Structure 1
Amino acid sequence: MKFRLVSDYTPQGDQPEAIKRLVDGIELGKRSQVLLGITGSGKTFTMANVIDQVQKPALILAHNKTLAAQLYQEFKNLFPDNAVEYFVSYYDYYQPEAYVPRTDTYIEKDLSINDRIEKLRLRATCSLLERDDVIIVSSVSCIYGLGLPEYFREMKLSLNVGDTCKRDAVLIHLIELQYTRNDYELTRSHFRVRGDILEIVPAYEDDLGYRIEFFGDEIEKISEIDPLTGKVKRKIKGLSIYPGSHHVTPEEARVSAMQTIREELKERSDFFRKENLLVEQQRIEQRTKYDLEMIKEIGYCKGVENYSRHFASRNEGEPPSCLLDYFPSDYLIFVDESHQTLPQIHAMHNGDRARKKSLVDFGFRLPSAYDNRPLKFEEFYNHIHQVVYVSATPGAWEVAEAGGDVVQQIIRPTGL
C-alpha cells in the first residue's frame, strides 16, 4: 500500500521550497541533509510531505517520550490509512541491576512494564515485517538490543483454512511464542481452548481476537472475533501470529546458546579461582547454573537478555540487533531536535557499560552481559541509509555531514 497524506492544509511559507529540496536530495541519493526550521514553522508537516512524495518507510527519532507521543499522534492524523507506530521504552519504572562495591550492596533489577506500550512495540515490529507503508516514531529506545528479526519472522505461526495440523501442536507452538493459556478470560497474549475451538488474542492487539475451529486434524474455519463478547466480526482464510516477545529463540539456538554459556562460565570461574576470588567464583557459578536450568526448562530466565550474545551467535563486541534491523535497507530517518537527540545517542553506550562493569567484576554477570547494550554512535551511523537532521539549532556536526547545505524553513505558514 502507498503512503497517502490526508490534510486540509497545503504547504505554505517556506514549506514548499523545503519539501522540494529535501525530496530532490533523497532522490539524488544524498545520505545526510539538514532541515533548519524555527519553532512554529511546521517541520512535522514538511516531514510528512517528504514521506508522501518519496514513498519510503520512515523512522522519526525523538529525544524523549513526550515529544515522541506528540509526533506519533500528529503522524497518525496525517496518515490515517498507513501503519504509523510508536516505539519507546515500555518501562513505567525501571531500577537497573547494579552493585556498589564500597558498601557491598547488590541492587536487584526492579521494573514495571506498561502493557499498552509493550503492545505498541510489538505492533511496530510486526508492521515492519508485514507492510511497506510504515512510519515508526521512536525514542532512543530504538538503539537498544532486541531479538533477531530472523527469529521473530521465522517463529511466527501461520494458519490457513484447510491446513492439516494437530491442535496440540498448535498449542505447543503458541507456548514457544510466549503466549499463555487462560480458559476463563481472553486477553492480550493469551489463548483459550474449548474442545475443537481455539481462541487467541495476539500480543500486538487488544480488541481483536481470532477463533480457529478444527475438525479432527484439519482447520475448518477461522474468524475474527471480539475478545470480550466472542461475537464474530468476519470470516478470514488465514492469519499469522507473531511472537509475544521480541526475545524468542528457536530450540536449536537455545541448545547452542546453553553450550557457549557453559563454556564462558568455565572460563570465568577459572579466572576467579586463579585470582583467589572465591566469593566471586561461587557467585557466578550459582547464578549462571540457575539461569541455565531455567532456560532448559522453560526457554528463558530472569535477565535472559544478558545472554543475548549467545542466543544470537554473535562474537564478542559485535553490535546487537535493534529496531533498525527490522527496517528494509532503503528507509529514511528523520532525527527530530537533532541537537539534543544525537548527544543522547552518543552517551548511551558508555553509561550502560559503566553500570555493568561492577556486576561483571564481582561475579554477578558473565562478561558477555556487556554485549547486551545500546548501539555505539558509530554503529548507529552505519545503520543510516538516508537521514534528515531536523532542528531549529542544528549542530556543527550535522551541518558538516550535510556538506554545509542547510535547507531553511524560516517563514512560517502564517507568513510570519
Structure 2
Amino acid sequence: MKVSGFLKLYQQDGLIQTIAAAIKANEPATVQLKGVTGSQDAVIAAAIYQLNRQNHLFVLHDKEEAAYFHNDLQSLLYPKEILFFPTSYKRPYEFDTTENANVLQRAEVLNRINHKAATGELIVTYPEALTEKVINKKTLQENTFSLQIGQQISLEAIVAMLAGFDFERQDFVYEAGQYAVRGGIVDVFSYAHDLPYRLELFGDEIDSIRTFDPNTQVSVAEVKRINLIPNVQTHLTDSQRQSLLAFLPRNTKLWFKDWQLTLDTLDQAFARAAEQFDKLTNLTDAAVALQPDELFENGASFAKAAAPFCRIEFGQRFSTDNTREFVLRTAAQPSFHKDFNLLVDNLQENARQGITNIIVAENPGQLDRL
C-alpha cells in the first residue's frame, strides 16, 4: 500500500468527511477533535486537506513538536511542499541576533501566501514564531520584484534593483541577500526561496532562469518566473506591521494543539519585549525602535485577529466552550519492547475484532525484517 492509498482510507471515512464538511465554510467557528493519539493528527489534517484543498495553519506546542509535525505532513503529502514558519530573532529588539535561515523561511511563507496557490498552502508553526508581526501585504507587494523568461530588462536595471534592496555583491552567492555578476549571468539569492537563482541574459532579454545548488554550482531546476524580495526584517523596519493572521486568506483553517497555551505564550513573549524596549529607551532619549505593540502580538490582539477564521483544536487540552465536538475512537500503539510474539498477538487480536492491520515503516528494510 502506498501513502496515497493509506490516506484514501481516511478520506473515505464518514467521520473524517463530516469534519471536513464542518470546517469547509469560510465562517467563524470552533471545532474540537478529541481522542486523537500519536501522529494521527497529521494523518487527519492531510486527509482533510485532500478533501477540501484549502489553506491551513497548524500551531503546535513548540518548535520541536512543530518540526516533527511538519515532517509527518511532508511525508504524507509529498510532493506538495509543506511550509514552516519559524521565529527570526533569538531575543526581541536584538536585531543583530537574527537567524538568516529563519528569516528566509518566514519570507518564503509570506511570498507564497501573497501569490496564492490554487491548491492552497499548509503552514506549520509554533507560538513563539507568531509573536513577531509581519510586514503588511501592500508593502510586500510594493517591494517584490518579479522576473520571467523573455522579459525585456537590462543587466544594469537588475543590478540597480538588487542594490536598492540592499543585496550584497559577492563573487559567489552562498546565502540569502547576495548576488553575483559574471558577464551576462546574474546569480541572486532571494529571501523568497531556499535556493539561489541563475539568470542568463541575451542582450536585454532574460533567456533562462534556473535554481542551483550554491555548494556545487549545479543547476537544480528550470523556472519560468521568480519573485525577488529583500530581507523584510531589516530592509523595511519602518513599515507598518500586522499579524500573520491578517496576511492569510479568509479560507484558511487555523489548527491549534493548545489554544490557551498559544495565547499565554504570546502574552509572556510580549512582556519580555516590553521589558527589553524599556531598557533600550532608558539608554537614550531618541526613538530607537518601534513600540512593542507595533512589532509584537499579545494574546488579546491575536485572539481578535483569529476571530474571523474557522478554528480547530486537536490536542489534549481544550479551553473553548460552545464548540462542535468530534470524538475519534483511537488508542496509542502498545509497546512491544522488540518482542515479536507480543506484536503477533496484538495483530491477531485486532483481526479477531475486525480491525484492519496496517504496518507503517520509515524504510523498506524495516518491512522486510517484519
Same fold (TM over 0.5): yes
1:378 is aligned, of 286, 300, 306, to 300
Equivalent residues of 1:222, 1:238 under 8 A apart: no
SS at match of 1:164: coil
Aligned pair in 2 of structure 1 residues 178, 409: CA closer, same or farther (>3 Å)? farther
Displacement of 1:56 in angstroms is 1.0
> C-alpha separation between the residues in 2 aligned to 1:88 and 1:234?
26
SS at match of 2:34: strand
1:335 is aligned, of 237, 249, 256, to 256
Amino acid aligned to 2:316: A
User: CA offsets per residue over residues 71-103 of structure 1, 9 Å max, x none?
Assistant: 111111122132311111134xx3555xxxxxx
How many residues are matched?
324
- Alignment-derived partner of residue 78 in structure 1: 76
- Alignment-derived partner of residue 201 in structure 2: 213
- Alignment-derived partner of residue 107 in structure 2: 122
> C-alpha separation between the residues in 2 aligned to 1:243 and 1:182?
16
User: CA offsets per residue over residues 183-221 of structure 1, 9 Å max, x none?
Assistant: 245543321112332222323445442223141xx1141
Amino acid aligned to 2:305: H
- Alignment-derived partner of residue 171 in structure 1: 159
Amino acid aligned to 1:176: G
> C-alpha separation between the residues in 1 aligned to 2:64 and 2:208?
40
Displacement of 1:138 in angstroms is 0.8
1:391 is aligned, of 307, 312, 315, to 315
1:223 is aligned, of 196, 202, 209, to 209
- Relative to the length of structure 2, the TM-score reads 0.75
> C-alpha separation between the residues in 1 aligned to 2:96 and 2:4?
39
SS at match of 1:342: helix
RMSD of Structure 2 on Structure 1 (CA) = 3.1
- Alignment-derived partner of residue 336 in structure 2: none
> C-alpha separation between the residues in 1 aligned to 2:82 and 2:9?
21
After the TM superposition, which of the residue ranges 180-189 and 56-65 deviates more from structure 2?
180-189
> C-alpha separation between the residues in 2 aligned to 1:139 and 1:412?
26
> C-alpha separation between the residues in 2 aligned to 1:34 and 1:135?
19
Equivalent residues of 2:165, 2:230 under 8 A apart: yes
- Identity across the alignment (%): 15
- 2:330 pairs with 1:411: yes
The gaps in structure 2 that reach 5 residues or longer are 334-349, 356-370
User: CA offsets per residue over residues 12-62 of structure 1, 9 Å max, x none?
Assistant: 7xx945523422321354511111235337222122222222221110012
After the TM superposition, which of the residue ranges 320-329 and 67-76 deviates more from structure 2?
320-329
Equivalent residues of 1:7, 1:78 under 8 A apart: no
1:201 is aligned, of 185, 189, 193, to 189
> C-alpha separation between the residues in 2 aligned to 1:159 and 1:175?
16
- Alignment-derived partner of residue 239 in structure 1: 226
Aligned pair in 2 of structure 1 residues 209, 373: CA closer, same or farther (>3 Å)? closer
> C-alpha separation between the residues in 1 aligned to 2:65 and 2:5?
21
Equivalent residues of 2:85, 2:109 under 8 A apart: yes
Displacement of 1:146 in angstroms is 1.9
Amino acid aligned to 1:379: S
Equivalent residues of 1:88, 1:117 under 8 A apart: yes
Displacement of 1:247 in angstroms is 4.6
> C-alpha separation between the residues in 1 aligned to 2:266 and 2:164?
34
Displacement of 1:236 in angstroms is 4.9
> C-alpha separation between the residues in 2 aligned to 1:84 and 1:383?
23
Aligned pair in 2 of structure 1 residues 342, 174: CA closer, same or farther (>3 Å)? same
> C-alpha separation between the residues in 1 aligned to 2:193 and 2:19?
36
> C-alpha separation between the residues in 2 aligned to 1:195 and 1:82?
36
- Relative to the length of structure 1, the TM-score reads 0.68
SS at match of 1:59: strand
- Alignment-derived partner of residue 48 in structure 1: 46
Displacement of 1:172 in angstroms is 1.7
> C-alpha separation between the residues in 2 aligned to 1:393 and 1:70?
20
Displacement of 1:229 in angstroms is 4.5
The gaps in structure 1 that reach 5 residues or longer are 98-108, 250-304, 313-319
- 2:136 pairs with 1:148: yes
2:265 is aligned, of 344, 354, 369, to 344
Amino acid aligned to 1:371: D
Amino acid aligned to 1:409: L
- Alignment-derived partner of residue 139 in structure 1: 126
Displacement of 1:111 in angstroms is 5.2
> C-alpha separation between the residues in 2 aligned to 1:24 and 1:183?
54
Aligned pair in 2 of structure 1 residues 53, 233: CA closer, same or farther (>3 Å)? closer
